Structure 1
Amino acid sequence: MNGMQNKILYFLGSAFAWVWGIFFVLGGLISIAKYPIASLIIALGGLVMLPPIYQRISKKLNGKVKNYVVAFAGFLIAMIGMANTPADNPPSQVNNSQRLAETKTTPAVSTQPQNTEKTVTPIIVQSTPKPAVATIENQQPIQSTYDVNCKVVGVSDGDTFTCLTNDKQQLKIRMNQVDAPEKNQDFGQASKKALSAMIFGKVVGLKTNGTDKYGRTIAEAFYDGKNINKAMVAGGYAWAYREYMTDNEYASLETTARSNTTGLWSQPNPTYPSDFRRMGKGQTTAPTQTQEIATTIAPTVSDSGASCGSKRYCKQMVTCAEARHYLNDCGVSRLDRDGDGVPCESICN
């Protein structure tokens, strides 16, 4: 009977040693990066508890220390390591402590009325509503007196550009009442560069007027209070778009640019962009609208002419009298490049 009991006790002791020994060894190895010293002590205690280890230790000591004593010593070593492992504060406790600290440091606000000797009437400051402003990055805010404010991110030609609104909506803009030369037309690239210099990368305000058949938003563009559409015409970078013109100032600005030979008007016989597009599609072989506009705005000057026509170059002059008329009466100063008062010296000798 005693032999059976000894076997049972031996089996239970070995099982206990194996389970706890492995537990301590694995636990120590897992946490060694976080708590190196304590984890090594735990793992060492777990190793001592393993039956092959404590039996070997007892044998080395010539049996003076029993196996279970060595195993128990390993258990104690592991427990010492456990006791020296810092305890982590649970997140909930930390949060509760922080909330408690915040509660203590936040002064209580009474919602009940208090009786005082003097009644203080609270002053209510009413702010005057301000108009909405554009807040597109890297730009100064502009007053929202326009239908849309957007940042110009691309210029297609002298009358078409792309912009982004504050909510990142992309708009394709066709400038209203102006018609710039096409990109492959004379002065087309110069017109595009001029528009880019005025508005690219800047926040513009738009006064919209619906959309065209291509889905583009028709609009007048403004930057720093200046009407960009009119600036393009005044600078000689675009024509007044007569088919859609509702503001006669565009025609007046074009006439002034013509008289000053500004921009595209410095070139002989510029073609109205609508005519250029129709000729490109084979719909016409002659710039008919260009001729009609020239007839309406600047009648042909006779040799003794009393009005100013569209001629701007000496090679267009027929007689010296005509050249003098254009110089003196029409202000075409390019006819007298040396400034001696004599125009087109090839015919006025």
Structure 2
Amino acid sequence: MENSLTIQTVLKQRNSYNLAIPFVESVQVNPYFKLSVSLLNVDTSEQAAQVFKVGSKSLGNNRWEDLFSLTKPFLQRLATEAGIQFAPGAGDVVKMDENTWKASAFGALRLPDGSVRTSNNFKVIDLLTEERKYRLSYEEKAAHGIVDYKAAKAASERYSGEWKDTGQKNEKGYPIKIFVISEEDRGKYIEQSLLDAMAQLRANAPQKAATGAILRVIRDLTGVKGTYTLEELKKPFAVARMSFSPDYNDPAVKQMMLQQCMQSVGNLFGNVQPVTQTISIPQMVDDEDVDIPAEPVSPDPESHIEPPVKHVEQNAGSREAAEEDRSRDFCCDKCGEVIPPKVWDYSYENFGRPLCYKCQRIVKKEQGGRG
């Protein structure tokens, strides 16, 4: 078995595999789905209960080969590996009448070429029809002999008859014998076997109908055969499965996944547009930026406290600094000190020119001695 298993390898070596799906050879696989091939081996031992004998076929020269069918557990493994999806209600049973049950199942499978294959099937259990089938089967066994060793041994302990050699040998080399029931006990064997089989069938008829419908869908979608020989069952079943596996290195896939994520978030919390709000933040008030009273000079000169005056050096550096923050535009016309804009406005209204606090007092004294 190769370490790297691909669909092309399986198709080239069809004789080495049991194809469990109708392969569609595809060259291009889209960037959203990934194709994987897995192998399932059948355990043909009796304890595993993955196969059961359904009959034999003649090989000529008085040689026979046993035929086996896959059981429910192995078919369900095939369905899981292949990714078969069943619709809700698959296997639901409806009682048609006192002796009839019907179950339906619907399944879907994504094929390697990207298409989807569906199957809708049903199973009907009619007790009257099943009883007739069982009767014919037991009549034939009673007349021609019971082939299955366990059933033959159990019948030999309850009914009279004889063992006959078929002249054949099983896979272990032992001779194959059958048990033929005597004519006087054949009626008892048929009726008792039929009674046991029908009692079990009546108890399990709804479950058998449900299982039958589901297994028919699995067989149809995977394309497995009804019977296999032991030699065929030694080969593994190759199962192809298409799974959603996006290529995140693809720019288009990245964009689509991002849009899908945003849409999912929007479905949860709503698509709310961002709100832009402008907040006005007041400027910090400078030490000299204070309210100016209606009369800048207090009636009581002793109680008036002069605000601190900043002395700016009259040099190129200070001039350049003053020009940079535009504060030099507001200078006292008398002493050249930089004054706040509010003091500038007040001085122009009352003195006709810009004056600082100190020079305002001096001018007032010069004009009338007030203050």
Q: TM-score, normalised by structure 1?
A: 0.18
Larger Rg: 2
Identify the structure with the greater helix proportion: 1
Higher strand share: 2
TM-score (norm 2): 0.17
